[in-house]
Amino acid sequence: MRKSSLFIGLFVTILIGIGIIGFSKVSQANAEITEGSDNYTISETWELPTELDEISGIVWIDAHTLACVQDENGIIYMYDLDERSITEEIPFAGNGDYEGIALHNTDLYVMQSDGLLYEIKDWRETNRTISSYKTGFEAANNMESLTYSAKDKSLLTAPKDKDAHDEFKGIYKISMTSKTADVNSPTYKIEMNAEALNKYQGKKLHKTFNPSEIAVHPKTNDIYVLEGKNPKLLILDQHGTLKTVYKLDEINFPQPEGMTFSDDADLYISNEAVNGTASIHLVEFKFN
């Protein structure tokens, strides 16, 4: 009886210990998931159709339309925010890994992860022309970001993975004439050892921050850089000086990979479908 009681007591103690450890891990996970949710408010959300489950880039077209790409099919999807539906599909290439989309005047641009840039010229016209250009980046860079900067009069992009040096991730201009970038001369730098990024550093310095999208604020020219891997938003001023880094909670931002501003500076961020439905949020950040 004594041995039996001893074993029962030991068994109960082990169960209680496992429960405490499990509760601790769940509590820690919940804390990590919800951290950052006080940085912003989401004023509206659009749940997207299955065609956009892999949504990887968005760009503002007009008062009710976003152009979207997803990372498998060479199709631009026009999404109507009022109708909450896709209203037009524009094929531009075959299957691939398409990550970023930008608009300049009447032309759309799509970035493939290996650095190949597609130009859809006069996209609204039935006789639109489509061309592709090697920008100078390679598959090892894993290019996911693209935007047009009126200040720089160029497209801007940043490698997600490897850059020329592990100490920084550069933001590079892509010329509107040659459609190429000087891959040895970034216009702006995100320093991986910046104080604001200290708590995100791991064993490999270049993995401190992995840009998945970029957008330029239409009024301040601040440069917003999004990370989808470990959701964060980094903001540089118009000169490239790091201003702040916001952690994004993983409930509302399970995999944020698209971002764009409206003409009035409203910020839209899209998420791929991760254990749920792909979405677009209209987001307002709380600046100190």
Distance CA 97, CA 209 (A): 21
Banded model confidence at residue 31, pLDDT cuts 50, 70, 90:
very low
pLDDT at 34: 37
Strand partners, 144: none
User: 1 pLDDT exceeds 90?
Assistant: no
Distance CA 222, CA 213 (A): 14
Helix or strand or coil: residue 40?
Answer: strand
User: 250 pLDDT exceeds 50?
Assistant: yes
Distance CA 229, CA 278 (A): 16
pLDDT at 288: 54
Q: Which candidate, 116, 110, 246, 237, places its Cα nearest to that of 181?
A: 116
Same domain, 145 and 252: yes
**Between 37 and 159, whose confidence is greater?**
159
Whole-prediction pTM value?
0.87
Same domain, 185 and 233: yes
Distance CA 280, CA 268 (A): 7
Same domain, 60 and 19: no
User: 12 pLDDT exceeds 80?
Assistant: no
pLDDT at 281: 98
Residue entry with tokens 């290439």: 93
Mean pLDDT of 252-259: 96
Find the CATH number of the domain harbouring 65.
2.120.10.30
Same domain, 244 and 150: yes
Q: How does pLDDT run across 182-194, given as a tens digit for each residue?
A: 999 999 999 999 9
Distance CA 99, CA 173 (A): 17
Same domain, 118 and 199: yes
Q: How does pLDDT run across 107-148, given as a tens digit for each residue?
A: 999 999 999 999 999 999 999 999 999 999 999 999 999 999
Same domain, 201 and 228: yes
Which phi and psi angles does 18 have, rounded to 5°? -60, -40
CA distances from 44 to 47, 62, 140, 257 (A): 10, 17, 36, 18
Residue 208 is part of which domain span? Answer: 41-285
Mean pLDDT of the chain: 89
Same domain, 217 and 80: yes
Mean pLDDT of 155-181: 96
Share of the chain above pLDDT 90, in %: 82
Same domain, 12 and 52: no
Same domain, 136 and 1: no
Long-range contacts, stretch 36-41, CB < 8 angstroms, 24+ apart: 36/231, 36/246, 36/247, 36/248, 36/249, 37/249, 37/251, 37/252, 38/286, 39/246, 39/247, 39/248, 39/285, 39/286, 40/246, 40/248, 40/283, 40/284, 40/285, 40/286, 41/283, 41/284, 41/286
The number of folded domains in the chain is 2
Same domain, 143 and 212: yes
User: 88 pLDDT exceeds 90?
Assistant: yes
